[in-house]
Amino acid sequence: MDNLKQKTKRSIVWNAIEKVGVQLIALLTGLYVVRNVSETDMGFIGALTIFVSIGIGLVDLGFSTALIRRESNTDEEYSAIFYVNLLISVVLYLVGYFCAPLISDWYSIPELTDLARLLFLIVIINSLSLVQIVRHTKALDFKYIAIANLVAVIVSGVVAITLVHLGYSYWALAWQQISLRITKTFMLWVIKPWKGLKLTPRFGVVEELFDFSYLLIINGIVSSVTTNFFTVTIGRVFPASILGHYYTADKYKNIARDVITPTIAQVAMPVLTESKDDKARQKQYYRKFTNVCALLIFPALLGLAVVFDDFCVLVLTEKWLPIVPYFRMLVIVALLDPFNGLANQILLVEGKTKHFFFSECVRHALLILSAYLCFINL
C-alpha cells in the first residue's frame, strides 16, 4: 500500500508539472498567435475539430482503457494493438482525404479541402504514440509522458509563432497541431525506447479487449459528435468568424480546466484499478481524488470567469471581447467535468461498461436536445 501511495504522489507531481507547464507554454504561445490571426482563421480550425476527434477515437477503439484496466499485458499483446491502431489510422486518413471536398462543401468554405487533408494526418501520427502512453500510464510512470508533452508544446509553439510571423494565417495553426503530435510521438519513442515491439504479435487479444471496449467505441464516437455538435452547427449556420469566437472561448476554457482535471484523472484510473480488490481502500482513493478536484477546479474556473473580460482587453486585444459570454457559459459546464470523469472511471475499473454506456447515452441525449432547442428557429 505504501508503494502505491508513493507511486500515486509521484505520478500526481509529474502530471501536475506537465499540465501546468504545457498549459502555461500554450497560453503564452497562444497570446501571440491569437493576437495575430483573425477570427475566421480560428474558425477554419474549429470547423475540422470534430472530424479529427472522431478519427482519433476510432483509432483507439477503447483499447487504451481496456489495456490499462487489465492486470498485465505482454509485448505481443501491445504489439497487436499497435499494428491495429496504425492500420485503422491509415484507412481513416484515406477516407478523410477523399471526403475533404464534401466537408468543404458542407461549410461552404473552399479553403477547408487542403486544410483538412493536412490536419487529418494527426490521426496517423497520434496512433503511433497510443501504446507507449498506455505502457507508461499502467506503470504509473508519468515522467516520460510529461517530458514528451513539454518538449512537444515548446517545439509546436516555436513553429506556430514563426509561421504566424511569416503570414501563414490558418496554416500556422494547422502546422502547430501537426508539429505537436510529431514531436510528442518522437519523444515517447526516443527518451525511453520500447524494445518489445514484435513482428509476430498475438492478435487474439484484439477480440478479448473488444468484448470490453466495443461500448467505449460507440460512446467515443457519439461523444465526439455531441461535444462538437455546436461547433459544426455554428460553422454551418453562421460565418466562420462567429465559429472562431466560439472555438477560441472553448480553447481557453480547456486550457484553464486541463491544468487540473487530467492531472487527477490520468492518475486515478491505474490507482483505482490497482486497489479494486480492496473496496475500502479504493473508496478512500476515490474520495481523495474528488476532494482535490473540487478544491482546485471551482476557485480556478470561477475566478477566471469573473476577470475574463479584463483578460481579453489586456492580453488578447478588444477584438476578442465577443468570446467572453461564450467562455463564461462553457465554464459552468466544465465545473462538473472532473466529477463525471471520476464516476465513469469507477464504472470502467469495475468492468461495468453497460452502466457507463447508459449514463453517457443519457448525457449525450440531453446535449443533443439542448442543441436542438438552441438552433430550432435558425
136-193 pLDDT, tens digit per residue, is: 887 777 788 889 999 999 999 999 999 999 988 889 999 999 999 999 999 988 888 8
Q: Which residue has the cell 515517447?
A: 188
Q: Which of 219, 197, 234 is nearest to 79 (CA)?
A: 197
pLDDT the model gives residue 266: 66
pLDDT in tens, 31-61: 888 888 888 888 888 888 878 888 887 887 7
Q: What is the pLDDT of residue 181?
A: 94
End-to-end Cα separation, the chain, in angstroms: 57
Q: Which residues of the chain have pLDDT under 70?
A: 1-5, 7-8, 211-215, 256, 259-267, 269, 277, 374-378
| pLDDT score, position 303 | 85
E-strand spans in the chain?
none
In angstroms, the Cα distances linking 95 to 70, 92, 127 are 32, 5, 16
Hey, CA dihedral for 4, 128, 145, 27, is it positive or negative? negative
Torsion of CA 189, 18, 217, 366, to 10 degrees: -160
